[in-house]
Structure 1
Amino acid sequence: MSAPAEVVAALPQYEIGTAIGQGGMGVVFAGVHRSLRRDVAIKQLPWDVLNHAVSSELFDREARVLASLDHPHIVPVYDYVRTGREHLLVMERLDGGTVHSRFQSGGVSAEQACAIALAMLAGLHAAHEAGVLHLDVKPKNLLFTTQGVMKVADFGIAKVISEGATLVTHGGEVLGTPAYIAPEQALGNALSPAADVYSAGTVLYELLSGKLPFDNTRGAISMMRQHMFTDPRPIDGVPAPLAAVVMRSLARELGSRYRDAETFAADLASAATAVYGPGWLERSRVPVRHLTPRVITALSTPVAAPAPAGDGPTRPVRRPAPDPTLSATRATFEPEAGRRPGPVLWFRLAAAAAAIVLVVLALLNPERQPHEPSLLAVDLMVVSSSPEVDLSKTFTLTGKGTPAQVSLGLTAGGIPLGSATATPKVEGGSYSADLRFPGLTRWIVGGAVTATVTADGVTETFTLLTRQHPLASALGAGSLILALFALAYLESGLRTIRNGHRWRGALVGGPVLGLLFGAAAWLCVSVLRVHEPAMLFGIGCSIAGAVATGFVVAAARAR
């Protein structure tokens, strides 16, 4: 693939060759500076995302910061050109392959994996100190020079692109790479250096164990959900000191994870020295430069093994005792002892009371709604006995009168679900109508519903039961999924608050999610119990859900 004419015109001082890489972050072309004869890599950023004024200005600022980064383990940016719709980064060209290619060829030992991780963390720490997050740390973004020096590429690009596109897809790829993405990044929460720590920990996990911490056989969305809601599987075949460090870097909760790359690197250096002995870094033959004094000290200070010697699996770290660095980082987020215990307690009690009201109302929904006595019959079964029908087949409705047309509508708590109309056969002051609902209706309706018959302007109602299993209908399964979705989204917002970040619109979004959950829970319980949904009970459950979540959010904010 040759460079577009716009790229060639924007960089006249470079000889631009063919594309050497392509992905969600743009296309990379080989190039040579005409005067200096220096080999470079030219990245053409995705213009369809940066075509917005806000994204363009954001990346202009980010590019200036990227150009200022000077660290031996960060790919340097030589130039940045913005012309028309093009955004072009000119960077050092590294021809020594990637960590991914070396790993796939089986050329990374355990000592080399730890050394690569130290180099990666050194570059990340330098960038974080300059206020730059990477947000797409993965083996393919870890490049080697021909001398074997590992450098981190693509700093800050994912951050800017995610401002102008959805996190999930851009050009068919996932921003943040699902296999390595941090939980808070997948959830769309506020980000910090801890997000890069998580991704770096995932890379180290893979290099040491040969596999990812989550099942990667079920697609990108499944992988992201695992990062959001599941603890990583314990790392096998890795000595306990190293395993403990790796699993701590992968903690889902920010309070349990390393907050910065330097702390992670220091513990990793110490654990590796305990496992492989002094001088392991030199023996790995992976150049690691510009380590901070804290990490250099840790290299000569091996930690004691936190578990008996052996290579058995180490459990995921849950809540480790906080070190001074973590304590200092959390100081602004954690409440002082004894601070505002009263309101939090009362908020929680009120939320619990509202939740109990929701459950009680959902269970008290009557089995059948009151209907006026009727002479109607369905398949010769009087409607007062709540006839049961198969909505995928034709059934016969009979009644008194000589209507020209008969219609039957189905509702649940006032929600219309479907209708059928037929021209009846009239004989001796009575009629019979063969009714058949559209095929989709059988998958929508489940449990007990309200049937409304209209004939010559006269309306009669009765309870109709369906032979479809409740969970095989949209009413049953759909309401259950909706309730679970509301709970998951609410938990995501509450986790944001607990981690010390702001949940925008919490005072409105929380009650709305509660209202949605209350309505879905009422409908699901009614359908599964084959009770005819009553609108008043649905309204009561919705209000109770909104009140409960409102108090839950208030309690989280008060803490």
Structure 2
Amino acid sequence: MTLSSVVAALPQYAVGEQIGEGGMGVVYGGVHRQLGRPVAIKRLPHAVAEDRRMSERFEHEARLLARLDHPHIVPVYDYVRQQGEHLLVMERLDGGTVWSRFSGDGLTAQQSCGIVLAALSGLHAAHEAGVLHLDVKPKNLLFTATGVVKVADFGISQVVSEGATLVTHAGAVLGTPAYIAPEQAMGNPLSPAADVYATGTMLYELLCGDLPFERGGGPLAMIQKRVYQEPRPLPNVPEPLAGVVMRSIARDPSARYRNAETFAIDLAGAAGHLFGPDWLVRLGIPVHLAPQVSASSTRPSLRPVERDTVSLTQQPIRATLVDPVPAARLSGSSTLVPAAQVIKPPSSPWLLWLVAAISLLTLVVVPFVASGNPPEVVITQDLADPVKVDGTHLVVTLAGIPLADVPQRGPDGFELPGAARWIIGGVVTAKVDDQPAFLLGSGQTPWLSIMGTGSALLLLFTLAYLESNLRALRRRQTGVAAVIASVPLGLGLGLAVWLLVSVLLKHEPTMSVALTCGVLGAAAAISASLASKRA
């Protein structure tokens, strides 16, 4: 259908050029001929008109939208269903979108909180009237010429998809996958909590410039992360604001705020705590709040404001993403299926865990059974005393690494340097001139040596850092960097186990066993890290 069908369906309007386009239709500018009032005309996809059930649902929804009267909702002036067209006539707002400001000059944390409070105010009014939005995002928040924030495109996703997320066979998503709630993606029953999730995701992005999940992988991968993974903690934002945002994007709808107003009450209170009771007055953005929300915003702060709040208040934050993944177009030729049919739960990384377990078990066993080929002669003494053996030159090594190289000093024997005496615990290899090698052991407790205490401390250090890395990977607090860091940590773990067991059992610490244990430790660590990242 051409633009002429829109013109014919709206004789009372002068229809102008296209001013916008999305997966749910095209928007034209226009002017009411008698009133001279500028309008935006939303032309819904032809698939709506061609599907009788969808067409009837939209007509019902349009009546609900026309009844919405709220300062933070774009009002619907008219709805026309004629000549195969479904047209919504709305207020035209030329002040730009939240996305255009966010990706341009940026927004301060105060501005972002004020914008989201305005959006929540409008959303709660719509929810009370029985209308869910289901496509809340920065591009659907518009500014009037005087700076008032209004929510646009109410209910269109609900009508077109009956609340479920639809995808094409090529993997494109109808809607905006960056902000879709998990239950919406899976086609489960929906409530205001779905809009709370999308609004919370938007606030997360406005406060830090990024989304709460790792980027990449395309639209379907983006949705899958929201369904099966926990969001990353909000960085560089102090409590209580960070806690409010994270509660709003909980995967489980029952763990989120039950409606937009309860979300707004906590958000207003957190902002008032951080920015001061008069923060909305100083902000300069008109925000119409319910009495409960307004009271929460102006409530005096219970604790002193943290120092890092100053930078959070003043510094504009900009989008680090290009425009989020574009949505699929709804057309008669599109084959759309529910996302739940193509999104599969991530496979269990059991093979990686098995490799990690086998490597770790082998690492523990090897130092006990591989003691090298120790010389027959073993001398154990207090190393503070001279080593009494015949010869002119003594060389002491640990796994092939020289520890001491001393000549004989008189008839008392060989006196080891102080550093070597503190290093040696258990036994080391010693050799005098061209004679056969022998084992030299310290008579003191191994815990008074660097070999003994140092290996124990290295073991505790690597275990603690590996556990911290695995926990961060499971919680999506880090990514590839933690997997790479696991390699040297695993190597250190293997060397620590090898040296500690060698010291306690008085085995000859050989380089071949050291390398074997180091490789096994690295294999166990990287396998566990990859498994945690995929879990």
Q: Is the 8 Å Cα contact of residues 24 and 170 (structure 1) preserved in structure 2? A: no
| Separation in structure 2 between the aligned mates of residue 275 and residue 165 of structure 1, nearest angstrom | 38
- Secondary structure of the 2:107 match is coil
Map of 1:262 onto structure 2: 261
How far did residue 107 of structure 1 move? 3.1
Q: Secondary structure at the match of 1:168?
A: strand
Match of 1:85 in 2: 84
Question: 2:213 is aligned with what amino acid?
Answer: F
Secondary structure of the structure 2 residue equivalent to 1:220: helix
Q: Which residue of 2 aligns with 1:9?
A: 8
TM-score, structure 2 as length reference: 0.55
Whichever residue aligns with residue 161 of structure 1, its letter is V
User: Which residue is equivalent to 1:174?
Assistant: 173
CA distance in 2, matches of 1:166, 1:49: 16
Deviation at 1:50, TM superposition (A): 4.0
> TM-score, normalization: structure 1?
0.53
For the 8 Å contact 1:240–1:305, the answer to whether it is kept is no
Contact 1:136 1:176 in 2 (8 A): yes
CA contact (8 A) 1:241 1:305 kept: no
Read off the aligned partner of 1:182 and give its amino acid letter.
Answer: A
CA RMSD in angstroms, aligned pairs only: 2.2
Q: Tell me what 2:124 maps to.
A: 125
**1:293 paired residue among 277, 291, 294:** 291
* Deviations, residues 245-294 of structure 1 (Å, cap 9, x unaligned): 000000011221001000000000000000001111111111101x1111
Deviation at 1:139, TM superposition (A): 0.2
Contact (CA 8 Å) 1:15, 1:34: kept in 2 or not?
Answer: yes
Q: Deviations over 1:533-554 (max 9, x none)?
A: xxxxxxxxxxxxxxxxxxxxxx
Q: Is the 8 A contact 1:3 1:29 kept in 2?
A: no
Provide the residue aligned with 2:96 in structure 1. Answer: 97
Q: In structure 2, what is the Cα distance between the partners aligned to 1:145 and 1:310?
A: 33
Match status 1:275 vs 2:285: no
In the TM superposition, 1:215-226 aligns within 5 A as: 215-226=214-225
- In structure 1, the residue matched to 2:411 is none
| Corresponding residue for residue 187 of structure 1 | 186
CA distance in 2 between counterparts of 1:64 and 1:169 reads 30
Aligned length: 309
Runs of 5+ consecutive residues of structure 2 not aligned to the other structure: 310-535
Contact 1:240 1:309 in 2 (8 A): no
Report the 3-state secondary structure (helix = DSSP H, G, I; strand = E; otherwise coil) of the residue aligned with 2:80: strand
SS at match of 1:179: helix
Identity %: 63
Supply the AA of the counterpart residue of 1:301.
R
Question: Is the contact between residue 3 and residue 19 of structure 1 (CA under 8 Å) also seen in structure 2?
Answer: no
Q: 1:72 to 1:12 in 2, by over 3 A?
A: same
Name the SS of the counterpart of 1:67 in structure 2. helix
Amino acid at match of 1:57: E
1:410-469, Cα deviation, whole Å (9 max, x unpaired): xxxxxxxxxxxxxxxxxxxxxxxxxxxxxxxxxxxxxxxxxxxxxxxxxxxxxxxxxxxx
Q: Tell me how far 1:303 sits from its aligned partner.
A: 6.2
2:299 alignment partner AA? T
Alignment match, 1:46:
45
Q: Which SS does the other structure have where 2:204 is aligned?
A: helix
Q: Distance in 2 between matches of 1:185 and 1:306?
A: 40
For 1:201, the equivalent position in structure 2 comes to 200
CA 136–164 in structure 1, closer or farther in 2 if over 3 Å, else same: closer
The equivalences for 1:9-48 within 5 A come to 9-48=8-47
Pairwise CA distance, 1:175: 2.9
**Residue 236 of structure 1, CA deviation:** 0.6
Q: Deviations over 1:277-329 (max 9, x none)?
A: 1111111111101x111101101225657998867xxxxxxxxxxxxxxxxxx
Higher relative contact order (CA 8 A, sep 6+): 2
1:173 CA displacement? 5.4
Separation (CA, whole Å) in 1 of partners of 2:33 and 2:290: 37
Structure 2: how far apart are the matches of 1:302 and 1:225? Answer: 41
Structure 1 unaligned spans of 5+:
312-559
Distance 1:171 1:57 in 2: 29
> How many angstroms apart in 2 are the aligned matches of 1:268 and 1:185?
24
- Aligned to 1:113, the other structure's residue is in SS state helix
Tell me how far apart the structure 2 counterparts of residues 112 and 230 of structure 1 sit (CA, whole Å). 29
Which residue type is aligned with residue 242 of structure 2?
Answer: A
Mark the CA change 1:228 to 1:116 in structure 2 (over 3 Å): closer, same or farther: same
Aligned counterparts of 1:170 and 1:269: Cα–Cα separation in 2? 43
Corresponding residue number in structure 1 for 2:232? 233
